[in-house]
Structure 1
Amino acid sequence: MEKETGRIEGFSDGVFAIAITLLVLDLHVPEADAISNGNEILIFMKNQWPTFLAFILSFFSIFIMWVNHHKIFKQIYSRNSGIMFANGLILFLVSAVSYPTALLAKYFNGEAASVVVAIYTGIFVLINLAYNLLWYLASKNKKLLRPGITDEAIRKIHNNYLYGLPIYIIALAFSFWIPVVALMIILGLWIFWALSSGKIEMSMKE
């Protein structure tokens, strides 16, 4: 069976690359006339810690989403309009990550922390839903998937994405209560998604 998703994957890789590159635009250096010695540079960088935190969180979140996107399209061999539009929704949301990242960098260390963290975690709730939608549309017709994939492998991948949703919702809830905990949950999800991508790889070999 010939794979028909090459153009989708190539276009998606480009969008992921642009989205992850846009994050660096929020990292700024001090004005030359504002710094007179190395100590002042260190102080400036210390005061910019919310910006670095937001950059690191978003960079690795997008990177891990790209890894999982790559793995899921190793399973999808054919495409239809539903798959293309669901993938487009993922790309739309991924390209929007830079905006809540900028809000987090600018307002996390202030009174608006709970709101900006809620917006930040909310975008990942939507992305997770989009991934679930993509896999649902692909897996409901087994003819769209790689030859020989088992029902057990399909179920494992479905559960893998579905189980992440309540964790993201918990993080969103904590955003309004303890914003730092919400970001810690997002950090923990790096590990979850990194490990889960391995499960998808195992399913490919079944």
Structure 2
Amino acid sequence: MEKETVRIENFSDAVFAIAITLLVLDLHAPDTNTVKNGIQLLNYLKSEWTTYLAFTLSFFSIFIMWVNHHKIFKQIYSRTTALMFANGLILFLVSAVSYPTALLARFFEGEASGIAVAIYTGIFVLINISYNLLWFIASNNKKLLRPGITNSAIQKIRKNYLYGLPTYIIAFAISFQFPAVALAISMLLLIFWAISSGKIKVTQE
């Protein structure tokens, strides 16, 4: 059976690459007019810790999303219009991650930290829903999937993506009152997805 999703995967890879590159644009070197010596440079770098934190979180979030996207398309062999639009929704949201990242970097230490973290965690709620939607569309029509994949493997992947959704929603809900805790949950979810991505394997009948 010929794989029909090669162009989708290639286009998706390009969008992921651009999205992860856009994150670098928010990293700025200090002006030489304000930083004159090593102590001032160190103080500037310390003051920018939220920028580095936001960049790191978002970089590895997008990277792990790309890994999971690659793994899931190892299971998808054919395409429909609905599947292509579901994939497009993922790419739209991934390409938008740089904006919440910038908000997090600039407002995490201030009075607007709750809103900034809520926007940041909120976009990952939407991304998780979009991944669930993609697999729901693909798995509801077994003809779209890799020949020989078992029903148990389909269910395992479906449950794997559903597990993260409640946690993302909890992180979003508590962002307004406990932004630091919500961000810590986001970090733990990164570890969860990094581990769970290795569990998405091909199972033959």
Shorter chain as normaliser: what TM range? over 0.9
> Which whole-Å CA distance do the structure 2 matches of 1:55 and 1:91 have between them?
19
Question: Which residue of the partner structure matches residue 161 of structure 2?
Answer: 161
Unaligned stretches of 5+ residues in structure 1: none
AA at the equivalent of 2:198: G
Per-residue CA distance 1:153-190 (angstroms, 9 max, x = gap): 00000000011100100100120121001010000011
Note if 1:130 corresponds to 2:127.
no
Secondary structure of the structure 2 residue equivalent to 1:100 = helix
> Which whole-Å CA distance do the structure 2 matches of 1:129 and 1:205 have between them?
24
Note if 1:99 corresponds to 2:99.
yes
Note if 1:112 corresponds to 2:112.
yes
Question: Which residue of the partner structure matches residue 53 of structure 2?
Answer: 53
* Cα offset, 1:35, TM superposition: 1.1
Question: Which residue of the partner structure matches residue 149 of structure 2?
Answer: 149
> Which whole-Å CA distance do the structure 2 matches of 1:173 and 1:185 have between them?
12
Secondary structure of the structure 2 residue equivalent to 1:29 = coil
> Which whole-Å CA distance do the structure 1 matches of 2:37 and 2:182 have between them?
37
* Cα offset, 1:205, TM superposition: 4.1
Q: Is the 8 A contact 2:153 2:203 kept in 1?
A: no
Higher helix share: 1
Question: Which residue of the partner structure matches residue 191 of structure 2?
Answer: 191
Secondary structure of the structure 1 residue equivalent to 2:191 = helix
Residue correspondences, number: 204
Question: Which residue of the partner structure matches residue 74 of structure 1?
Answer: 74
* Cα offset, 1:33, TM superposition: 1.3
Root-mean-square deviation (CA, aligned residues, Å) is: 0.7
- Comparing 31-40 with 5-14, greater Cα deviation is found at 31-40
Secondary structure of the structure 2 residue equivalent to 1:33 = coil
> Which whole-Å CA distance do the structure 2 matches of 1:35 and 1:136 have between them?
53
> Which whole-Å CA distance do the structure 2 matches of 1:95 and 1:48 have between them?
24
Q: Map residues 75-90 of structure 1 onto 2, 5 A cutoff.
A: 75-90=75-90
> Which whole-Å CA distance do the structure 2 matches of 1:174 and 1:60 have between them?
22
AA at the equivalent of 2:53: L
TM-score calculated relative to the size of structure 1? 0.98
> Which whole-Å CA distance do the structure 2 matches of 1:195 and 1:36 have between them?
45
Unaligned stretches of 5+ residues in structure 2: none
> Which whole-Å CA distance do the structure 2 matches of 1:117 and 1:15 have between them?
24
Note if 1:62 corresponds to 2:59.
no
Per-residue CA distance 1:126-172 (angstroms, 9 max, x = gap): 00000000000000000100000000000000000011100100100
> Which whole-Å CA distance do the structure 1 matches of 2:203 and 2:57 have between them?
31
Question: Which 4+ stretches in 1 moved above 6 angstroms?
Answer: none
> Which whole-Å CA distance do the structure 2 matches of 1:32 and 1:91 have between them?
38
